[in-house]
């Protein structure tokens, strides 16, 4: 079956050409990514469950983002092999990281994959994985993960049938696999899904579903299942037999689905890997819960970073945060004036919303 890996020769838009990314104070409303998602790309994501793209972002932005993240996480030490950005989710106040997470071209790509006019950001979180040696109890270790799908801790329900995906999950790799190791492994869905026994719906053959408690380490998980759930263990052996490795370089982007079988693998000794994890979902999917605290949570920051961010974004980017598109019933002459007064001082252009009012 098809294994499609796309390499895009990016161009830097004006915002990136004229401003050093390290000096950005707000998120760009233009795309730093050259995103040209073709119908072939959409088909792979929809049929096989993933799409891998190299060189999506300018290397300058990727390097600047990594510099920001290292400052964020270097002070966090411990024995854990997995660290989560000191609790920061979008908006972080780190301009390059926020630019990457809500890039206008990235948003357009997500919409195309989902076939939706609107999407909402539900996760934007920085993860640092650190190589560790043997630990006394590896049950929940992230070094050598068990095969899994992501939906159990994102949705309160179960993904709909394959033909109707609700969300796009994204990993933006900021490290080099040749230096740190830890390739992601995926199990692509076969192009003849009616014959693919590994993707029979519903998806229950994993820890954390039903009565089977969640565990993370591959060896521990599979040993437990062989004793307690032999049929499930036999099914999962087929997953490992069909897994494929995804290598990455700084800026590689993995678009995947919550119902894709995948897992993380061990880093090289001494290795450290940084990634940005994102999820965008269709509107009205309240059962797909948000991992982010929410944009308004940070509105009282003294530097007014969030207000400046909202003013700088374009209407599609704002819509990812929940601000209605032009033409929505929320927008009336009264609400236009109120929002104008709140954000105009930061450079918010209210015109696109006013132009869509009836009779304008």
Task: Write out pLDDT tens, residues 260-275.
Answer: 999 999 999 999 999 9
Listed residue (208, 206, 200) closest to 222, CA to CA? 206
pTM comes to 0.90
Mean pLDDT, the chain, whole residue set: 88
Q: Is a pLDDT exceeding 80 seen at residue 112?
A: yes
The backbone region for 55, taken as left when phi is positive above 0, alpha when psi lies in -120 to 50, beta otherwise, is left
Residue 15: the pLDDT is: 27
**Which residues in 323-342 are b (16+ Cβ under 10 Å) and which e?**
bebbeeeebeeeebeebbee
Query: So what's the pLDDT on residue 274?
Result: 94
Angle (CA) 322-324-328 rounded to 5° is 150
Residues near 151 by beta carbon (within 8 Å), at least 6 away in sequence: 158, 159, 203, 258, 259
Q: How confident is the model at residue 141 (pLDDT cuts 50, 70, 90)?
A: confident
Q: Give the model's pLDDT for residue 8.
A: 47
Q: Which fold has domain 5-292?
A: Jelly Rolls (2.60.120)
Domain positions in the chain = 5-292
Mean pLDDT check: name the lowest of 23-27, 101-105, 156-160.
Answer: 23-27
Give the model's confidence band at 22: pLDDT under 50 very low, under 70 low, under 90 confident, else very high.
very low
- Mean of pLDDT values over 101-124: 96
The pLDDT-based confidence of 325 (bands split at 50, 70, 90) is: very high
Residues 169, 253 contacting (CB under 8 angstroms):
no
Q: What is the pLDDT of residue 76?
A: 47
Gyration radius of the chain's alpha carbons: 21
Does the structure show a pLDDT above 60 at 27? Answer: no
> Does the pLDDT value for residue 21 go beyond 60?
no
Of residues 355 and 30, more confidently modeled: 355
**Mean pLDDT along residues 193-217:** 92
- Above 60 in pLDDT, residue 125? yes
User: Is pLDDT above 70 for 320?
Assistant: yes
For the ranges 15-19, 47-51, 142-146, 327-331, the lowest mean pLDDT is seen at: 15-19
Give 360's pLDDT tier (boundaries 50, 70, 90): confident
Residue-by-residue DSSP string for 73-118: HTT--SS-SEEEEEEEESS-S-HHHHHHHT-HHHHHHHHHHHT-S-
Tens of pLDDT, residue by residue over 280-299, are: 999 999 999 999 988 999 89
Q: What is the pLDDT of residue 60?
A: 93
Overall average pLDDT of the 167-189 stretch: 98
Query: CA 289, 278, 322, 308 torsion: positive or negative?
Result: positive
């Amino acid at each position: 079956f098809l294994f499609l890996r796309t390499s895009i020769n990016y161009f830097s838009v004006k915002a990136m050409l004229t401003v050093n990314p390290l000096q950005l104070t707000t998120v760009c409303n233009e795309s730093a990514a050259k995103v040209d998602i073709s119908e072939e790309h959409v088909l792979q994501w929809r049929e096989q469950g993933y799409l891998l793209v190299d060189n999506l972002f300018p290397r300058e932005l990727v390097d600047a983002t990594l510099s920001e993240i290292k400052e964020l996480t270097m002070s966090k030490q411990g024995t854990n092999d997995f660290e989560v950005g000191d609790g920061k989710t979008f908006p972080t106040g780190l301009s390059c990281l926020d630019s990457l997470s809500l890039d206008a071209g990235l948003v357009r790509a997500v919409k195309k994959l989902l076939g939706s006019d609107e999407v909402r950001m539900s996760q934007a979180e920085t993860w640092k994985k650190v190589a560790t040696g043997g630990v006394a109890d590896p049950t929940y270790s992230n070094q050598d993960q068990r095969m899994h799908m992501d939906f159990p801790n994102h949705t309160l329900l179960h993904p709909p049938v394959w033909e109707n995906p609700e969300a796009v999950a994204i990993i933006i790799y900021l490290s080099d696999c040749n230096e740190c190791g830890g390739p992601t492994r995926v199990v692509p869905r076969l192009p003849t899904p009616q014959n693919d026994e590994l993707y029979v719906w519903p998806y229950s053959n994993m820890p954390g579903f039903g009565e089977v408690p969640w565990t993370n380490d591959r060896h521990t998980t599979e040993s437990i299942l062989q004793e307690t759930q032999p049929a499930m263990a036999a099914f999962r052996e087929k997953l490992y037999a069909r897994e494929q490795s995804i290598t990455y370089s700084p800026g590689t982007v993995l678009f995947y689905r919550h119902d894709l079988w995948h897992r993380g693998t061990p880093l090289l000794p001494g290795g450290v890997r940084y990634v940005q994890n994102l999820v965008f979902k269709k509107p009205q999917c309240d059962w797909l819960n948000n991992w982010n605290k929410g944009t308004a949570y940070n509105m009282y920051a003294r530097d007014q970073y969030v207000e400046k961010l909202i003013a700088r974004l374009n209407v599609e980017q704002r819509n990812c945060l929940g601000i209605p598109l032009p033409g929505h019933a929320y927008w009336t002459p009264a609400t236009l004036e109120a929002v104008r007064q709140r954000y105009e001082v930061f450079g918010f252009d209210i015109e696109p919303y006013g132009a869509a009012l009836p009779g304008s």
